[in-house]
Structure 1
Amino acid sequence: MADNLFSRGRRRPLVLDGGLATELETAHAKDLSGSLWSARILLDDPDSILAVHRAYLAAGAQIITTATYQASVAGFHRELALTPSEAAALMHSSLRLAEDAITAHVAADAATTQRVEEEEEEEAFPPAIAVSLGCFGATLADGSEYTGVYPPYADEDYLCEFHVARALAVLNGDSGGRGTPPPPTMTTTTTTPPNSMQNPLLLLHLLLFETIPSLLEARAIARALAHPALSVYPAGVAFSCGTATTVRCGATLRECIDALLLLRRPSADDDDDASSASSSAAAAAPPPPPPRAPLAMVGVNCTQPHLCASLVRIAAAAVAEAAAASSAVSAKSHSSGGKKPPTTLVVCYPNSGEVYNPVTKTWSGPGGGNGEAGPDAWWAGWCKEWLAAGADVIGGCCRTRPRHIEAIARLKKNAMKEKGLLHVQP
């Protein structure tokens, strides 16, 4: 795969954008009360999505997310009576909007193109696109994305099929001719990520599975990412957490990340003195998916800011342990050719601090970053905590705005002036 923003060491943090849907509500007065949330604006007013993308790029975002968090073929059919083909084409149009925003941003002022300078000069990369893929519960618009309690039919197999089908609809504009997920036959032979617009600025898209609330869905995503058509893309997964250690369903964040990183996969080299109980549990567990390239990033989103330092530390520890295990396996098999395994980055993009009521679809309580004093000191203070805990990628989720992202970019710029105090090793 071509070199890209995620494939080499960078000055920390990489800057992700902020809330897209809530910015559409705040800055563009959009009514997002329907089940499609911001995805409906792809049809109603795509120019406003383009404007939000450009606002975040101007604020310093290096990664922008598509307006597809709550999009699904079934959802567009249910709410707008679109055919599967029409729905998939509309979802795919989100990529053009993001690409157009980046192209316009780069053309308008080359000086604003993100350049992450190392101690030695290196190639600069334009901003990247993250394909926003919300959890299954988000498409139900019933608040289950904040509990992880899904209908009985939404088992691991169903969720795997859902995530494969929805990702392919966004990437390729192809619904498979149906409104329900195709079976996971995994026979696709795609070997290189398609570039939908053939834009030389854009070498790849990151698949970003967001607001994941459960261990069940983490396992389903791990399987989905083994699909040949998806495994060629860099991917990130962010979990929504209700406490400083657990995701919304009550499982620990560490369990969920381990499921993604295949850290707990049993092997022939397991210690001979492992307990019979552990052996029985491993034998009873579902088989893990085939190995794939390491995740580009893993971490937390749509979570209260005060919980994130603890959660980032958990994610960073899991990533470090997985990297050590990968290095050990490579050394044992001599399969690495002397190259260091790719690093999984830790991502953190919480909400503003306000509390969301999924029943009334309203926000309440103080959001320190939205006060009249502005977000700079408040948000930058949190960012420093997350960086110290091990975050490599920082942005914002619900109710964060371009000014929050500008505060992150300013923090990074100031740190770089201080001889690169914030640095992620290659």
Structure 2
Amino acid sequence: MTLKRIAQWKKEIRVLDGGFGSECEKRSRLPIDGHKAWSSRLLKEDPNLVCEIHKSFLRSGCDVISTNTYQASPRTLSEALDISIAEAKELMRHAVRLARRAVDAVIEEESLAASPYGRKLPILIAGSLGSYGACLADGSEYSGDYSKNMTFSDLVEFHQTRAELLLEAGVDLLAWETIPLRCEVSAICEVMRRLPNAVGWISIISMDGQTSAAGDPLHEIALEVDKCDRLFAIGVNCSIPHHLIPQALANLSGIYDSCEPGNEDGFHPPPCAKRPGGHSNRPNVPHSRKILLVYANSGERWVPAKSKKSKFRGYWIWPPKTGPNLWARAMSRFAMRRGVHIPNSTTSAFHTKKDEQSPVKAQWVGGCCRVGPEQLVQLAEWMKPDEIYKPRSSSELSEHDTILESSTYARRKLSSTSNSVRRKATIANCGDHIKRLRSGLSYSRKTL
């Protein structure tokens, strides 16, 4: 069954969700940034918001959502939230239930819309698991410095405990995220071998497209992951500069490709004779090649405060030629696209002649820090043109069917409005809903 799932997913082009933690920072009344539990504190203090954020990502067109557990472990949650270890474990399981609740709610909404241009793939729930450094809440996942105080056995035990909790709660796969160390990748591979029926992806944090944040060459990490059949995908996420994503993907995928000549410099894929695949010791393994994935930050840069003693931590800035409306265009350069053409698609002019296309494409693409539903709508429209709303003529539809399809379109275009409005906008009031859209009126919480 495990190999069948992997074989099916390798045929699919999927959109991942965005930065869950940064969306919590934006929408929560509680302080998230700087808290030791980060967004995981909402599992205890505002679980309804967790569910609503999942829904907003799903409504934007995502096919995979990740649980709100990136920075969670039983011990760290227990200390940060002043609860017992048993309660902390239950919170991690509850994170999966909240994600499942959101999926069920959105599926029900979409079934009411009855649009022929609806979702083509079943939604997957990924159990988000950050590196050991992420759970320390000190930023060490961006350097890997914590490895000095950890043994291989420590890393295996730490990650296995968290993975077992999420698998017991019913995630479809595990998402090992923002990993800076090759030794930690090896520990995660060992965990996956110990867990029956577990499958997942692993994503590396890289600042230069050549090495991980800790300095390990990406192609060496890819060789390590290639040995673990339970990890079906590999990629990069978080703070990698957008223009270096093609280089990172090439280094991660180059171990399979027959690109010549290859070299022994330690920072690029080795000569063909030393690569897995057609030129290696695994020539007949059908599941050895991994899916490539990428989910990068918005492109903003963090400027820290000048004084470490200051309560003001810093601020974000947009570099030149970047901005919130350009993120999806940047990601689409590295993304595969379903081969269905829809005339008059809103993505027909998405690229200009100046946009350079990456020779290496990622099959599963999404966003990381500070990427919200608004940006993912644009990416989903590019990657999945067969799911874009396309109105039929009035002669092909009854009046009631027209309202239902218009409701689907309106819900997609309102992905950035308040969730309370969307929740209350039912089929019964769709007519008024569409009239307001056409007249350009804005919504507020008092509208419905």
Report the TM-score range of the alignment, normalised by the length of the smaller protein: 0.7 to 0.9
Per-residue deviation, 1:12: 6.3
Per-residue deviation, 1:6: 4.6
Per-residue deviation, 1:208: 0.7
The CA distance in 2 between the partners of 1:369 and 1:166, in whole Å, is 40
Q: Secondary structure at the match of 2:234?
A: strand
Structure 1 residues 239-388: aligned runs within 5 Å: 239-262=204-227, 292-302=228-238, 303-320=240-257, 321-324=275-278, 329=282, 331=284, 340-341=286-287, 343-356=289-302, 362-366=314-318, 371=323, 373=325, 375-381=327-333, 383=335, 388=359
Alignment partner for residue 165 of structure 1, among 138, 161, 169? 161
Q: Which residue of 2 aligns with 1:103?
A: 104
Quick check: 1:216 aligned with 2:217?
Answer: no
> Which stretch shows the higher mean deviation, 63-72 or 248-257?
248-257
Encode CA deviations 1:144-201: one digit per residue, 9 max, x unaligned.
10001116331211111110011113333xxxxxxxxxxxxxxxxxxxxxxx46xxxx
Q: Is the 8 A contact 2:7 2:287 kept in 1?
A: no
Encode CA deviations 1:238-293: one digit per residue, 9 max, x unaligned.
0000112011001111111212223xxxxxxxxxxxxxxxxxxxxxxxxxxxxx53
The CA distance in 2 between the partners of 1:34 and 1:407, in whole Å, is 32
Alignment partner for residue 392 of structure 1, among 363, 387, 393? 363
Percent identical among aligned pairs is: 29
Q: Which residue of 2 aligns with 1:286?
A: none
Letter aligned with residue 114 of structure 1: R
Q: Secondary structure at the match of 1:106?
A: helix
More RCO (CA 8 Å, sep 6+): 1
Q: Is the 8 A contact 1:352 1:367 kept in 2?
A: no
The CA distance in 2 between the partners of 1:349 and 1:165, in whole Å, is 26
Q: Secondary structure at the match of 1:389?
A: coil
Per-residue deviation, 1:346: 0.6
Quick check: 1:114 aligned with 2:119?
Answer: yes
Q: Is the 8 A contact 1:12 1:392 kept in 2?
A: yes
Q: Secondary structure at the match of 1:391?
A: coil
Q: Secondary structure at the match of 1:248?
A: coil
Per-residue deviation, 1:341: 3.0
- Structure 2 CA distance for partners of 1:144 and 1:296, relative to 1, 3 Å: same
- Structure 2 CA distance for partners of 1:361 and 1:343, relative to 1, 3 Å: farther
The CA distance in 1 between the partners of 2:11 and 2:287, in whole Å, is 19
Q: Which residue of 2 aligns with 1:152?
A: 148
Q: Is the 8 A contact 2:17 2:64 kept in 1?
A: yes
The answer for unaligned runs of 5 or more in structure 1 is: 116-124, 173-195, 198-203, 263-291, 418-426
The CA distance in 2 between the partners of 1:386 and 1:88, in whole Å, is 44
Q: Secondary structure at the match of 1:300?
A: strand
TM score, norm. by length of structure 2: 0.69
Q: Which residue of 2 aligns with 1:266?
A: none
The CA distance in 1 between the partners of 2:149 and 2:296, in whole Å, is 30
- Structure 2 CA distance for partners of 1:87 and 1:146, relative to 1, 3 Å: same
Encode CA deviations 1:347-367: one digit per residue, 9 max, x unaligned.
100111122468876542216
Q: Secondary structure at the match of 2:148?
A: coil
Q: Which residue of 2 aligns with 1:75?
A: 76
The CA distance in 2 between the partners of 1:236 and 1:370, in whole Å, is 29
- Structure 2 CA distance for partners of 1:7 and 1:341, relative to 1, 3 Å: closer
Q: Which residue of 2 aligns with 1:37?
A: 38
How large is the RMSD of aligned CA atoms in angstroms? 2.9
Q: Secondary structure at the match of 1:225?
A: helix
Q: Secondary structure at the match of 2:367?
A: coil
Q: Which residue of 2 aligns with 1:190?
A: none
Per-residue deviation, 1:414: 3.6
Q: Is the 8 A contact 1:348 1:394 kept in 2?
A: yes
The CA distance in 1 between the partners of 2:302 and 2:4, in whole Å, is 35
- Structure 2 CA distance for partners of 1:78 and 1:314, relative to 1, 3 Å: same
- Structure 2 CA distance for partners of 1:219 and 1:351, relative to 1, 3 Å: same
Q: Is the 8 A contact 2:302 2:317 kept in 1?
A: no
The CA distance in 1 between the partners of 2:185 and 2:211, in whole Å, is 13
The CA distance in 2 between the partners of 1:159 and 1:210, in whole Å, is 15
Letter aligned with residue 299 of structure 2: G
The CA distance in 2 between the partners of 1:308 and 1:374, in whole Å, is 16
Per-residue deviation, 1:373: 4.7
- Structure 2 CA distance for partners of 1:30 and 1:361, relative to 1, 3 Å: farther
The CA distance in 2 between the partners of 1:361 and 1:74, in whole Å, is 26
Letter aligned with residue 208 of structure 2: T
- Structure 2 CA distance for partners of 1:318 and 1:370, relative to 1, 3 Å: same
Letter aligned with residue 287 of structure 2: P
- Structure 2 CA distance for partners of 1:372 and 1:93, relative to 1, 3 Å: closer
